[in-house]
């Protein structure tokens, strides 16, 4: 009982931290692009919730996270307004490096949860894994599209979606082996996040295609 309360609290804390990391990536890009305050809020929200929302539209699931937990919209609004008052781009760039670690946690958590939601709908494994990848990586893709950039996830050669992809397959495998859902989720999230940490730490990059 007591243990499970701690675990549940830990899960919520990690998810909140990871969502903030995603949001800050939007805040930083909005600042670099010299967007106005409206643009800052929209791009920040898109980076934080775009991936999960796109997944839910594709899976025809409602309510979205930011509808079920609408207080998050207030948190993001406060974050954006606070940042515009107190921060400069260089502060955010320092933050960006620090944010790589919670961002890796987000990659692991959100790819595992996206994959599990799709498996629970009875979708094929490859589709479920793709939904995990979309949850983890497409907030950033939408953020970059709106900011008129080729999405970083598609051309920076740093394995991100690939780590989410592997994490998703771990969940599929563990589920097929009959593991309890919590154990399967935790393992998949740790593998996804761990791979990303190794990627960042060792500076691993994807092979180039000399097309």
| Cβ pair 31, 110 in contact under 8 A | no
Tokens of 63: 């309510």
Chosen residue from 23, 24, 40, 112 binding a copy of itself by CB under 8 A: 40
Minimal distance, residue 133 CB to a copy of itself, in Å: 9
Which is nearest to 162 in space by CA: 125, 100, 207, 202? 207
CA–CA distance, 192 with 174 (Å, rounded to integer): 14
Task: Pick between residue 197 and residue 206 the one whose CB is nearest to a copy of itself.
Answer: 206
Chosen residue from 1, 4, 5, 60 binding a copy of itself by CB under 8 A: 60
> What separation in angstroms does the CA of 8 have from each of 99, 119, 120, 174?
23, 22, 20, 21
Q: Does 151 bind a copy of itself (CB under 8 A)?
A: yes
Count residues near a copy of itself (CB under 8 A).
59
Residue with token string 């920040």: 44
Q: Does 78 bind a copy of itself (CB under 8 A)?
A: no
Q: Does 66 bind a copy of itself (CB under 8 A)?
A: yes
Chosen residue from 4, 5, 88, 178 binding a copy of itself by CB under 8 A: 88
How far, in whole angstroms, is CA 192 from its chain's centroid? 11
Residues 48, 149, 47: CA angle, nearest 5 degrees: 0
Interacting residues with a copy of itself (CB under 8 A)? 30-40, 42-43, 53, 57-58, 60, 62-64, 66-67, 70, 73-74, 84, 87-89, 92, 123-127, 130, 141, 145-151, 153-157, 159-162, 206-211
């Amino acid at each position: 009982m007591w243990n499970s309360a701690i675990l549940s609290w830990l899960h919520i804390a990690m998810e909140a931290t990871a969502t903030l990391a995603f949001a800050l990536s939007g805040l930083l890009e909005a600042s670099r692009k010299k967007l106005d305050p409206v643009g800052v809020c929209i791009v920040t929200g898109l980076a934080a919730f775009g991936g999960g929302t796109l997944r839910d539209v594709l899976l025809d699931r409602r309510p979205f996270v930011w509808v079920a937990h609408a207080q998050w919209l207030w948190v993001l609004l406060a974050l954006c307004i606070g940042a515009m008052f107190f921060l400069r781009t260089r502060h955010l760039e320092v933050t960006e490096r620090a944010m790589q670690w919670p961002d890796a946690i987000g990659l692991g958590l959100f790819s595992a949860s996206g994959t599990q939601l799709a498996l629970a709908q009875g979708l094929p494994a490859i589709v479920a894994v793709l939904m995990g990848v979309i949850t983890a990586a497409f907030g950033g893709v939408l953020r970059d599209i709106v900011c008129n950039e080729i999405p970083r996830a598609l051309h920076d050669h740093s394995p991100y979606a690939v780590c989410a992809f592997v994490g998703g397959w771990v969940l599929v495998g563990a589920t097929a082996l009959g593991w309890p859902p919590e154990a399967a989720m935790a393992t998949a999230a740790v593998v996804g996040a761990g791979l990303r940490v190794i990627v960042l730490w060792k500076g691993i990059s994807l092979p180039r295609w000399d097309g």
